C-alpha cells in the first residue's frame, strides 16, 4: 500500500514520491520542490538526534528493516522527525508490513509536536479520504497549523479549500492571500493563479496587467507553457495599449520587463 496523494492540487515537475534521502522523508508523500520546503526539511534533519540521522543513512543504503527499527526507537523517545519517518515507512510497508492504524498514531504525534510537514501530511489524510473518513474541516485545521509555519504545500491546500469552499466557507480574498504566499515561495501553480487574479481583478484584487504579466512570467520561467503563453499575450496587449496611447496623445503605461508585484 502506497500513500500517494493526487497531483491535482499541486502542479509540479517533480515526482510525487521520493526517498528519505537528505531531506529525511519530508518528500516521501510529495516532492518538496520549493526552496522554502527544502530549507524546512534540512532544518528538521539538523535538529534531529544523531540516531535519527543514522537511521536516515541506513534507509539511503537500502537497509529498510534496520532503518525502520531505528526510527521506531527514536520515535518512542519523542524525536518528531523519527515519528514522521516511522509513520511513512509503516504507511508504505517499507522494512516490514504496512500498518495504517499505527502509522496514523505516529503521524499525529509528529504533527502535534509541531512538525509542519507532518501537520500537512496528516491534514492530507482527511482531505483525500482514501485511508480515513474524509473530513475537510479537520484537514483545514491541520493545514492552517502547517501554513502558519510557512509550509508551501499547506498554503496551496488552504488556498484551494478557500477557493472552492471545502472545509471552510468560500472566500476568494483568503484564497488569494494563501496563493500569493505560496507563489512568493516559488510554487508554480500558485504563480499562475496569482497572475489570473491580477489579470481579471478577482477577490478584491485591483486589476493590474503588468503585475499579472510578472507572475505569469515567473510560472513560465519554471517551465509552465500556460504561464509563458499568458506572459506573451499580456506583453502584446500592453504594448498595443502603450502604442495606441501614444497615438492618442495619452500614452499608456509601457510594459515593464521586471516590474515586481506589491
pLDDT (tens digit, 9 = 90+) per residue, 2-11?
Answer: 344 322 212 2
For residues 175 and 24, give the distance between their C-alpha atoms in angstroms, rounded to a whole number: 30
Say what the pLDDT of residue 249 is: 60
Say what the pLDDT of residue 19 is: 36
Confidence of residue 253 (pLDDT cuts 50, 70, 90): low
For residues 172 and 151, give the distance between their C-alpha atoms in angstroms, rounded to a whole number: 20
For residues 126 and 134, give the distance between their C-alpha atoms in angstroms, rounded to a whole number: 5
SS (H, E, C) 187-253: CHHHHHHHHHHHHHCCCCCCCCHHHHHHHHHHHHHCCCHHHHHHHHHHHHHHHHHHHHHHHHCCCCC
* Residue in the structure block whose three cell numbers are 520587463: 257
The mean pLDDT value for 234-243 works out to 88
Does the pLDDT of residue 203 top 90, yes or no? no
How many other C-beta atoms can be found within 10 angstroms of the C-beta atom of residue 216?
Answer: 28
Q: Could you say which DSSP state residue 21 is in?
A: G
C-alpha grid cell, residue 184:
512568493
Largest CA distance in the chain: 76
Does the pLDDT of residue 24 top 60, yes or no? no
Instruction: Report the chain's mean pLDDT, rounded to a whole number.
Output: 83
Q: Which helix (H) or strand (E) holds 14?
A: none
Q: What contacts 69, CB < 8 A, 6 or more positions away?
A: 95
Say what the pLDDT of residue 47 is: 86
The mean pLDDT value for 138-160 works out to 97
Pick the more confident residue, 86 or 203. 86
Q: Could you say which DSSP state residue 119 is in?
A: H
Give pLDDT tens digits for 52-107: 999 999 999 999 999 999 999 999 999 999 999 999 999 999 999 999 999 999 99
Amino acid at each position: 500500500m502506497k500513500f500517494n496523494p493526487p497531483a491535482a492540487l499541486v502542479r509540479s515537475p517533480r515526482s510525487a514520491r521520493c526517498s528519505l534521502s537528505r531531506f529525511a522523508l519530508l518528500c516521501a508523500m510529495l516532492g518538496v520542490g520549493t526552496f522554502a520546503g527544502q530549507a524546512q526539511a534540512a532544518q528538521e534533519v539538523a535538529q534531529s538526534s544523531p540516531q535519527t540521522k543514522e537511521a536516515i543513512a541506513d534507509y539511503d543504503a537500502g537497509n529498510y528493516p534496520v532503518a525502520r527499527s531505528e526510527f521506531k526507537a527514536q520515535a518512542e523517545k519523542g524525536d518528531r522527525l523519527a515519528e514522521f519517518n516511522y509513520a511513512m515507512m509503516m504507511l508504505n510497508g517499507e522494512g516490514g508490513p504496512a500498518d495504517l492504524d499505527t502509522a496514523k498514531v505516529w503521524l499525529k504525534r509528529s504533527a502535534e509536536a509541531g512538525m509542519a510537514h507532518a501537520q500537512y501530511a496528516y491534514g492530507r489524510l482527511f482531505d483525500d479520504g482514501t485511508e480515513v473518513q474524509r473530513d475537510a474541516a479537520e484537514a483545514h485545521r491541520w493545514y492552517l497549523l502547517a501554513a502558519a509555519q510557512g509550509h508551501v504545500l499547506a498554503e496551496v491546500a488552504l488556498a484551494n479549500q478557500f477557493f472552492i469552499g471545502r472545509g471552510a466557507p468560500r472566500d476568494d480574498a483568503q484564497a488569494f492571500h494563501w496563493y500569493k504566499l505560496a507563489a512568493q515561495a516559488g510554487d508554480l501553480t500558485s504563480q499562475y493563479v496569482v497572475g489570473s487574479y491580477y489579470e481579471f481583478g478577482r477577490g478584491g484584487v485591483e486589476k493590474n496587467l503588468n503585475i499579472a504579466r510578472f507572475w505569469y512570467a515567473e510560472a513560465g520561467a519554471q517551465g509552465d507553457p500556460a504561464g509563458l503563453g499568458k506572459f506573451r499575450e499580456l506583453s502584446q496587449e500592453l504594448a498595443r495599449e502603450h502604442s495606441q496611447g501614444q497615438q492618442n496623445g495619452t500614452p499608456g503605461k509601457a510594459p515593464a520587463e521586471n516590474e515586481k508585484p506589491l
